[in-house]
Amino acid sequence: MEGERKTAPAASSHAEPIAPGRTYHEGEVLGGKYRVERVLRTGGMGIVLVATHLQLQEKVALKVLDGHAAGESAAVARFLREARAATRVKSEHVVRILDFGTFDSGEPYLVMELLEGRDLRDVLQQNGPIPAGLAVDYVLQVCSGLSAAHALRIIHRDLKPANLFLAETSAGQPIVKVLDFGIAKALEPERLALFGNENQTLTHATQLLGSPVYMSPEQIRCSTKVDERSDVWSIGIILHELVTGATPFTASTISGLLAAIAADAPLSLRTSLPDAPAELEKVILGCLEKDVERRIPSVEVLAERLRAVAASLAGASVRVEGDTDDTPPRRGRRGRAIAWFIAGLALTMALLAWFRRASRATGATTNAEPIHEALPIADACTDCDGESAPGSEAPQARQAKSRARSSRGARDTCHRLRNECNGTPKIAPFAAPFDSWEKGRLCEPSWRKRNGFGRS
């Protein structure tokens, strides 16, 4: 990954830092099994520590509810909701919850896998907009994690770049994980046990929970009346921001921002990024339909459309790279086999034509002498119109006359023999001249004898 890597928790609120309710010291053991290594981050609801599990000797992220918030029943309930929700969702693109509970001192805690990397908010701040193909890949991973949550009818409701963490797999490949299910919502009554009874009273209709920039119009109106499509809206905002560096709705005040989200059209992607693919802009606009019935209905459908965009972007990248190289594109095995076959066939035909011309030339040279010897004898040939040829009508001539009248083929033979062998000026209209090879064959004595045109 670009930029400086940092150790970060698998989940944190990313709110403005405040002073924690108590101080944690390096080497302090919490709950009898977690030794504090250092403070990683503080937030509006608590503090995140890097700690070592004493029995497993493994580093973890330990999130402890701040002393001020620990006294608020709603905050405690929301904290435990995050633990239960994230524990149930099984996906490599959702943070792993390893343990949760309450310390003897009364603070609730949550133990998560410790991730190396940065959240996407930090990536944007440090590196600026992300290339479209890479941004689509990141969002596809987010869709995979949310799909597992939505299958349990759990809605995140607080998606934003700060809650999407970019880490690396053991093979060094980038991986995005969804963090912070602190205000997640269970949609079905039978799922309420997942969160406990606090799910019924924790969120009031008048409360505004979530980050306003990424909230859907229906979530602004009523935080409790949302479904999976509210998360789809948030993904559309995030994707627009990843590739442009700005969100599609802006205002100078919170009230103005909420009004813009509820009533205004989003800023066009290609207004901010003219060379952005039209297919990508279409997908983002499908996420940002204010009418939920017209919005992309699920993260699965969104992922399918994003995969098509990714394929289009990959194809365009290959074409651009090919334009800078004068080397012709490589053919596959089948294409090479066809090319070799055509070349071999052409060579074979050329050789056959050459041998044929050579044999004709040899035949003409060999039979040149018999042609001259046969010319006087060809006077015995009969005129094909029924008149006798010059000289007496010998038996051979009568035979030729009979054959000439019997068929068109014999008629052609008679005229050709007369014109080519005897040299008379009379030319039959349907008789084509012989070439040298045919003269040698038709006018030689052996052929005339066999066909009744005189003795050899």
Using one digit for the tens of pLDDT, what is the confidence trace for 23-70?
A: 888 999 998 999 999 998 876 667 889 999 999 999 999 988 876 666
Look up residue 9 and give its two tokens.
Answer: 């928790």
Nearest-angstrom CA–CA distance, 444 and 425: 21
Q: Give the least confident one: 37-41, 204-208, 417-421.
A: 204-208
Note the pLDDT of residue 24.
85
Which helix (DSSP H) or strand (DSSP E) does residue 37 occupy? Answer: strand 34-42
Note the pLDDT of residue 170.
86
CA-based max dimension of the chain:
144
Name the region of 328 (left: φ>0; alpha: ψ -120 to 50; beta: rest).
Answer: beta
> Mean pLDDT over residues 212-225, rounded?
89
Specify whether the CB–CB gap between 64 and 33 falls below 8 A.
no
> Mean pLDDT over residues 196-218, rounded?
61
Q: Give the least confident one: 111-115, 296-300, 344-348, 413-417.
A: 413-417
Counting every residue written for the chain, the total comes to 456
Q: pTM of the prediction?
A: 0.61
> Mean pLDDT over residues 301-318, rounded?
87
Look up residue 86 and give its two tokens.
Answer: 């994230």
Comparing 205 with 61, the larger pLDDT belongs to: 61
Tell me the HSE value of 214 on the side-chain side, using a 13 A CA sphere: 22
Give the pLDDT confidence of 225-278 residue by residue, as tens digits: 889 999 999 999 999 999 999 999 999 999 999 999 999 999 999 998 999 999
Look up residue 156 and give its two tokens.
Answer: 């995140």
Assign 28 to helix, strand or coil.
coil
Note the pLDDT of residue 68.
66
Catalytic residue IDs? 158
Residue among 45, 76, 165 at smallest CA distance from 114:
165
What is the DSSP secondary-structure string of 218-252? HHHH-TTS--HHHHHHHHHHHHHHHHHSS-S---S
Note the pLDDT of residue 153.
87
Residue 199 has pLDDT above 50, yes or no: no
Comparing 83 with 260, the larger pLDDT belongs to: 260
